[in-house]
Amino acid sequence: MRIFSLLISLVMLGVVLGAGAFLYGYQQYSAKGPLTQEMFFVVEKGQGVSTIADNLEKQNVISNAMIFKAATRIGNKHTGLKAGEYQFMAGISMKDLMDKLESGDIYRRQFTIPEGLTSWQVVQILNGIEDLEGEIKEIPPEGSLLPETYQYRLGDTRAQKIKQMQDAMNEAVEEAWEKRPEDAPLLSKAEAIILASIIEKETGKPEERGEVAGVFHNRLVNGMPLQTDPTVIYAITKGKIQDKGMGPLGRRLLRKDLNFESPYNTYKYAGLPPGPIANPGKASIEAAINPDQHDYLYFVADGTGGHVFSKTLDEHNKNAAKWRQIRKSQGN
């Protein structure tokens, strides 16, 4: 009987101790953590709970790796922690930390490359991102970088981001090229990027891209020079544009500039220039490959950010005269 009572006592003691341990563990799990200041923490792809917990404890983010590991097992979360870079605020509890890792609430470092920038401009943006490492030794080929918003992590290199943008451009061109119509006038993907870069520089209105592309296709078919100002600007600047609020040349394009000697000058030479003049976005690539079908051969700015299109030179000259009046009234 005494032995039975002793066993009962031992069981009860175990229950009490177990409950106490559980209560202590839960309190630690929910309590404010030891982290004294904001920090960034990276969970690598393929890392297990044990490694994550040990790293958190080593970096003084949590007080007890064993409690963290136990909590993932009890909550059946040991296979659901997401890889990525996380931002932890000072005093974050294990519970809140676990919620972030389970939901994949990663810290998003990102930069955006707008459509129509030259490769030189893209490199300037990357060089200005202090969190990226390494230097870009050569300016990437014009038209090889897809304008998009890109994610990055601490430790990523600028060269890696260039490679990512180039891969994205190749993928975008391949996808658009596969959808080209049977009577597509362009002969190659390289030509598509060249024309897309000109379309990108000629209009900032998404709804106009197909129409502008149609004008250029019509001129190419008719053997007419494209006569587009952005190609002259690129010929003069080689992509290293001014950025002081006075346009890419640091001044207005002048009539004498249209005689600048360069194969990129589409006023002097018919057909497409020898290469892209900027990095076009997906919409301009699609427009170059599948342009609108119409009879327009000319377009000129209309003063609202868009363009007015015409079929004859006489119509175009009248529209151009109106545009000159608008510029004069604006003091330009």
Domain ranges of the chain: 31-107
Task: Please give the pLDDT value at position 3.
Answer: 53
Residue 295, exposed/middle/buried by CB under 10 A (0-12, 13-18, 19+)?
A: exposed
Quote the CA–CA distance of 284 and 264 in Å, as a whole number: 19
Quote the CA–CA distance of 184 and 289 in Å, as a whole number: 7
Contact 101, 78 (CB under 8 A): no
Output the CA torsion sign for 115, 118, 121, 126.
Answer: positive
H or E, element range at 311: none
Task: Please give the pLDDT value at position 22.
Answer: 47
- Pick out the chain residues at pLDDT < 70: 1-26, 75-78, 330-332
Quote the CA–CA distance of 62 and 29 in Å, as a whole number: 9
Task: Please give the pLDDT value at position 30.
Answer: 82
Task: Please give the pLDDT value at position 186.
Answer: 75
The domain made up of 31-107 is a member of CATH 3.30.1490.480: yes
Per the DSSP assignment, residues forming a β-bridge with 149 are 112
> Whose CA is closest to 283, among 175, 185, 184?
175
Contact 116, 280 (CB under 8 A): yes
CA-atom Rg of the chain in angstroms = 31
Task: Please give the pLDDT value at position 11.
Answer: 42
Please write the tens of the pLDDT for every residue from 53-88. 999 999 999 989 898 888 888 866 667 788 888 999
Contact 200, 278 (CB under 8 A): yes
Amino acid sitting at position 228:
T
Task: Please give the pLDDT value at position 23.
Answer: 58
Task: Please give the pLDDT value at position 306.
Answer: 87
Contact 194, 278 (CB under 8 A): no
Task: Please give the pLDDT value at position 319.
Answer: 86
DSSP letters of 56-70? HHHTTSSS-HHHHHH
Residue 124's CB is within 10 A of a number of other CB atoms, namely 15
Token pair belonging to 10: 């031992």
H or E, element range at 309: strand 307-310
Q: Is 267 helix (H, G, I), strand (E, B) or coil?
A: coil
